Amino acid sequence: MRLRFLTSEVWQGVRRNTSMIASVVLVSMVSLFFVGSGLLAQRQVDQAKGDWYEKVHAFVFLCTDSDTNVASCAGGEASTDQTEAVKSNLDNLRPLVTKVDYKTSEQAIAMFREQYKDSPYVSSVDAKSMPAFYEVRLSDPQRFDEIASGFQGMPGVAHVSNLHQVLAPFFSFLNMLGVGSAIIAGLMVVCSILLMVTTIRQVAFTRRRQVGIMRLVGASSATIYLPFVAEVLIASLAGAVLASGLLWAMVHFGVSGLASSGGGFVNLIGDSDVLVVVPWLFLGAFVLAVSTSWVTLRRYLKV
């Protein structure tokens, strides 16, 4: 088939069915946008877990003068003897406890200010509000309860925290976002398929005379099918372009803006993550358009 003939047929088809083609573009854009959102949400979960989830397993926070409402802190700030007793008990839990790092309140506030130096709230935090703590790494994070039960309520210990528990709501939200995006994307993909089928049937009906002539002159199935497939493919790829632009705008102006304002407790996804997701959107648009149009043509356009 000559390229000139294919281009002419596709262009005429787009002109005759502008509204239907535009509908395919818009529905493809929305469905691929939600597919991309789900993929980006999963990348955010994986990135956040890589940054935090597997690095630190537990914190044993010592008492400060402001923890008088905690029974184990009735005496005020943890004494040297109490601090050493906590360290001794942690050492006795090896090999479950693989590493113990002690941070004073001054070191804790310095770490906080360095990590969140761009946050507007840093200036409102002072050393008195940051307790000294033991950073504990475990050989088996699932055995955190042994640490919690052994140190919670111990004299000089304000509370024991598991970073997994701290970040669990954040990960749950991202997982729910990913699932929600997948469900909406699935529904929109179904809408895209139905709209593509309707579009192809309408285009085939408007070209029934040309198709009949092509049959009479012995044109192959591929020759007859290809203009229809090309129209739907162009519309789907245009939807992928728009969806990619929306995803980039969402991440660049939304997520990256949040990170630059100092709101990032974890490293957030950026433009580079969008570039990783975009090829999958185009691949999905290509496969969906070609497979749907080819199957529809074989069913409704007997050659």
> What is the reported pLDDT for 88?
92
pLDDT the model gives residue 253? 85
Encoded tokens for 300: 């409704």
Query: What are the structure tokens assigned to 282, written together?
Result: 């185009």
Q: What is the pLDDT of residue 49?
A: 67
Candidates 147, 168, 167, 146; CA nearest to 157 is: 147
The beta strands (E) that lie in the chain are given as 58-62, 97-103, 133-138, 157-161
Q: Which residues of the chain have pLDDT under 50?
A: 1, 262
Q: What is the DSSP letter of 289?
A: H
Alpha carbon distance 35, 190 (integer Å): 13
Quote the crossing angle between the two packed helices 144-151 and 80-91, to the nearest 10°: 150
What pLDDT is recorded for position 125?
65
Report yes or no: 147 and 94 within 8 Å, Cβ to Cβ: no
For residues 82 and 282, what is the distance between their CA atoms, to the nearest angstrom?
Answer: 61
Where along the chain do the CATH 3.30.70.3040 domains lie?
A: 58-161
- In Å, how far are 32, 243, 288 from 191, measured between CA atoms? 12, 16, 12
Q: CATH fold of 58-161, please? A: Alpha-Beta Plaits (3.30.70)
- What global pTM score does this model have? 0.64
Q: Which residues contact 52 (CB under 8 A, 6 or more apart)?
A: 163, 167, 266
Q: Collapsing DSSP states into helix, strand and coil, what is residue 56? A: coil
Q: Tokens at residue 258, please?
A: 């949040």
Query: Measured between alpha carbons, how far is residue 233 from residues 34, 96, 122, 239, 240 in Å?
Result: 19, 57, 52, 10, 10
Q: How many CB atoms lie within 10 A of CB 123?
A: 8
- The set of residues, in sequence order, having a beta carbon less than 8 Å from that of 154 and lying 6+ positions away, is 72, 85, 86, 89
Task: Report the 10 Å Cβ neighbour count for 217.
Answer: 7
Tell me which residue has tokens 């001054």: 106
Residue 154: phi, psi to the nearest 5?
Answer: -70, 140
Residue type at 179 in one-letter notation: V
- Give me the pLDDT at residue 121, please: 57
